[in-house]
Structure 1
Amino acid sequence: MNNRLKNKFQIRKIRYIRNSSFNKLTLFSHFDIHNRIDEYVIEYLKSLNKFGFDIVFITTSDTLSMIEINKIKKYINILIIKENIGYDFAAWQCGLNIVNNYKKYDTILHVNDSIIFPISNPSRLFKNASKYDFYGLTSSIQKGFHIQSFFLFFNKRLINSKLYKKFWEDIDFTLDKRQIIDNYEIGLTKLIQKHNYKVGALVNHNDIKQLNNHNPYWFAWDIIIDKFNAPFIKKNMLLKSHSEYKEETKFLKYFISQEYLNRVENYIIKYDNSNSKRILGNLSNDYDIYQVLERKLENILIKENSKILLYGYGIYGKVIHSILKDKISLIVDKKYGEKDIGTSVHKNQLFSTLKNDIDYNKFDLIISTPLNDNSNVVNFFKKRIEQKDNIVPLKNIFNKKDLNDIKIIAKAIYPDYQRKLPDSKITTVLNSNYKNIIKFITNYIHFHKLLEKNQLDINSKKLSLILLKNKGNTYIL
């Protein structure tokens, strides 16, 4: 390396560890205030190496010890330690200048250490990225459409272009953070689109209806992981001091498999130990199924006061109804007549069949609950509404595990799915480790007006609920 580059980028140390082995390159921007390389960073580098990336590791932790460097030596090709100026874009510019003939690579990936990656198998991500000139994990419309810059793929056609070369030559690392976001993160996507390159993201902001102008990984992290199988989570989300979403992070165990969960747990313990019990208590123990189901249903609502049509009133329809309550404006089930309605639904709220004389456009959302082929129902609605994507099949909301949980809960507590109970003092007994069962049953009882509130005796410590019915029968759950 010549002195000109060393002085320009204020490089303190550079080590060439191994020669190039792959046709893909990662420029990895790193900073740690304690001059350490955390376990999640090591796992990140290990995964990228496994998927065939040469790695240039650029850190602005200027007193990184050999003990720390040795943790990652087997995964990286070049180590650069530089002054902490210019943020990620300056680090990537520096790394690109150090690489000998970057145009030999088919893919160049620009990333930073702000995410825990992977938290699921990233194979699909890498496969999808190869179809685009410019690709990222998430897109946003804050301050205009752009690919968010913590994970950026550049593929061959763009790498060989004058645009790519000039963009990185012109990086000004004297700019402040806001100017860098405006000029480079947002400006880069605009520039690439202007020259008609193909741009995409694993998670497109348009695919998350309720996102509006919010940041996708802050306001919809669970949708991103669950619906799109996104293999990352923003590390600052896990810390109480940063998280705008701290109540919902308790569901992490539900969204991240045990195979990847340890790296999340370790990060929380290390950096937010006082808060770790709140999150890790839920990671380590049973999570609240009912609240997870609530959250997933909330995620599909277009607006807070959405008017919803629910098609199908079997096991799944009843559970959805008990969660969304008054948001359900109309329930349709061809198997039900007025005599079957009971106390759960007002007689004018349930139709026995689909009718042509209803204005279905007045509903913000139509949830179709049958799991078997319901194409006839979907087509019926599509012919009658303008916003075709307002029809949401159940399988687009819940995964197989969710559906199984719903079935277990519904069979345990709904009379329709229990055996006929004899007129004895104790009619049924259910033992459960899930605290959500209590919440679910309580909701069910109040919703169906089976009891007054003062007749309900709940012992959450023993996870039991005693239900006194007016006719003298007793349910112990």
Structure 2
Amino acid sequence: MTHDVDDAFDAEWYVNEYPDVGWSGLSPAEHYRTIGKLLGRVPTSSHAAISVRHAIVRKTRFTANDEVAVLVTHASGGRLRPHVLPYMRHFRRNGLSVLLVVVVDRPLELLDEEIAATSMIIVRDNAGYDFGAWAHAFQICPSLFGTRLLIMTNDSIIPTGDSAAFQAMMDRVRASQSDICGLTANHEYGWHIQSYFLALKGKALRSDAFKNFIGSVRRIDDKDKVVQEYEITFASRMRDADLKVEALYHGPYPNNPVIWSWRELIEAGFPFIKLLLLRKVMATYTDDKEMLEELHETWPSVLKKAGFDVNLVHNAIRAANMSWLPEGPNKDLLLHPEKYHKAALMAQDAE
């Protein structure tokens, strides 16, 4: 192996990951050095989740006393979704710092009030789904491993407008005797906690089991494979390492409670509604027309009674339905990056 190739270069993995190497006539190391690196390919599976073009708009170092929410959001249209700012503000009111990871398909425009609600912002190309983004955040900011409480969450849920309900949920998370809390569990493909909200206490964050798990995340651009590889296996792998794992909210049905038990959860004080549930695309997930008709007739009144901002929910649905916009020629990560010049640490590729 030459000095031009990463010391951690894994020839066997590289050939399996990129089959064209086998008929290139080059050794795996030579191919990576002369061709693969230029194409943005990565040398090992451990690099795969983090070797993504990114920019850091704000950066901080977290301490052992900090509680942090790492919120991953997909800004496909160039702006944050309407419910992301209220979600961040809920965390801030409850004493958590927010590390926002924005996954983009076009240059991102950030508003001053959005920046002000965060302690750190990472903007990255759209690759690897949520687990790839979370792994990337830990790679960039390893001080996350040393925090007191860390929540990994995403924008697939819309938060309540009731600050007391959100605080009650956070109180349950903090009071839990488990090392890892999910809000709900799903029995599809075996029991697992759902990854839209994962809370890890200090013992879990500093465990070899979690460090090995998050460090092994590789870039997978197939959502179903990500779910099978990471979400479904996460709880069992942590339990195998003698970490206590639990779900805090329960519905009457065993499968995907945020979809099939949404009303019962809301009436029990659950502070989120799943965005997918309210979109027209939900009709592709079930042929139960009666259920869909009842859902669309009742959700505004049910959510309003529970303290949700129904206008915000409508706006979040509209924004999700407007995500596919015609692209322009600008392929930058940030719109007007000079705006962030003093605070930004730009990176074309992860080292």
Q: TM-score, normalised by structure 2?
A: 0.68
Deviation at 1:138, TM superposition (A): 0.9
Identity of aligned residues (%): 22
**Which residue of 2 is the match for residue 255 of structure 1?**
302
**Cα offsets for 1:260-293 (capped at 9, x unmatched):** 32311322455569xxxxxxxxxxxxxxxxxxxx
Change (3 A) 1:141 1:65: closer
Deviation at 1:37, TM superposition (A): 0.7
Deviation at 1:196, TM superposition (A): 2.5
Q: Report SS of the residue matched to 2:184.
A: strand
Please state if 1:223 is matched with 2:264. yes
**Which residue of 2 is the match for residue 447 of structure 1?**
none
Tell me which of 205, 218, 222 is aligned to 1:176: 222
Tell me which of 213, 233, 238 is aligned to 2:278: 238
Deviation at 1:65, TM superposition (A): 3.5
**Which residue of 1 is the match for residue 152 of structure 2?**
110
| Mapping 1:61-460, distance limit 5 Å | 61-66=104-109, 68-120=110-162, 121-130=165-174, 131=176, 132-174=178-220, 176-204=222-250, 207-208=251-252, 211-212=253-254, 214-226=255-267, 228-243=268-283, 244=286, 245-247=291-293, 248-257=295-304, 259-261=307-309, 262-271=311-320
**Cα offsets for 1:118-165 (capped at 9, x unmatched):** 354212221222212111121010000000011111111111111111
Matched AA of 1:267:
A
Matched AA of 2:266:
I
Q: Which runs of 5+ in 1 are unaligned?
A: 274-477
> Could you tell me whether the CA contact under 8 Å between 2:204 and 2:210 is conserved in 1?
yes
Deviation at 1:51, TM superposition (A): 1.2
Higher relative contact order by CA 8 Å / sep ≥ 6: 1 or 2?
Answer: 2
Alpha-carbon separation, structure 1, partners of 2:319 and 2:141: 34
**Cα offsets for 1:375-428 (capped at 9, x unmatched):** xxxxxxxxxxxxxxxxxxxxxxxxxxxxxxxxxxxxxxxxxxxxxxxxxxxxxx
Alpha-carbon separation, structure 1, partners of 2:219 and 2:48: 15
Please state if 1:36 is matched with 2:76. no
Change (3 A) 1:35 1:180: same
**Cα offsets for 1:317-343 (capped at 9, x unmatched):** xxxxxxxxxxxxxxxxxxxxxxxxxxx
**Which residue of 1 is the match for residue 345 of structure 2?**
none
Change (3 A) 1:19 1:75: farther
Alpha-carbon separation, structure 1, partners of 2:318 and 2:50: 39
Alpha-carbon separation, structure 2, partners of 1:97 and 1:246: 42
> Could you tell me whether the CA contact under 8 Å between 1:17 and 1:76 is conserved in 2?
no
Q: Report SS of the residue matched to 1:246.
A: helix
Q: TM-score, normalised by structure 1?
A: 0.51
> Could you tell me whether the CA contact under 8 Å between 1:9 and 1:82 is conserved in 2?
no
Alpha-carbon separation, structure 2, partners of 1:153 and 1:234: 18
Deviation at 1:9, TM superposition (A): 2.7
Q: Report SS of the residue matched to 1:34.
A: coil
Deviation at 1:105, TM superposition (A): 0.9
> Could you tell me whether the CA contact under 8 Å between 1:45 and 1:75 is conserved in 2?
yes
Alpha-carbon separation, structure 2, partners of 1:149 and 1:6: 20
> Could you tell me whether the CA contact under 8 Å between 1:240 and 1:246 is conserved in 2?
no
Q: Report SS of the residue matched to 1:197.
A: coil
For these two proteins, the number of residue pairs brought into alignment is 263
Deviation at 1:12, TM superposition (A): 2.7
**Cα offsets for 1:332-391 (capped at 9, x unmatched):** xxxxxxxxxxxxxxxxxxxxxxxxxxxxxxxxxxxxxxxxxxxxxxxxxxxxxxxxxxxx
**Which residue of 1 is the match for residue 89 of structure 2?**
46
Deviation at 1:61, TM superposition (A): 0.9
**Cα offsets for 1:151-180 (capped at 9, x unmatched):** 111111111111111111101113632222
Q: Report SS of the residue matched to 1:144.
A: coil
Alpha-carbon separation, structure 2, partners of 1:266 and 1:158: 37
> Could you tell me whether the CA contact under 8 Å between 1:59 and 1:81 is conserved in 2?
yes
Question: What is the alpha-carbon root mean square deviation over aligned residues?
Answer: 2.6
Q: Report SS of the residue matched to 1:149.
A: coil
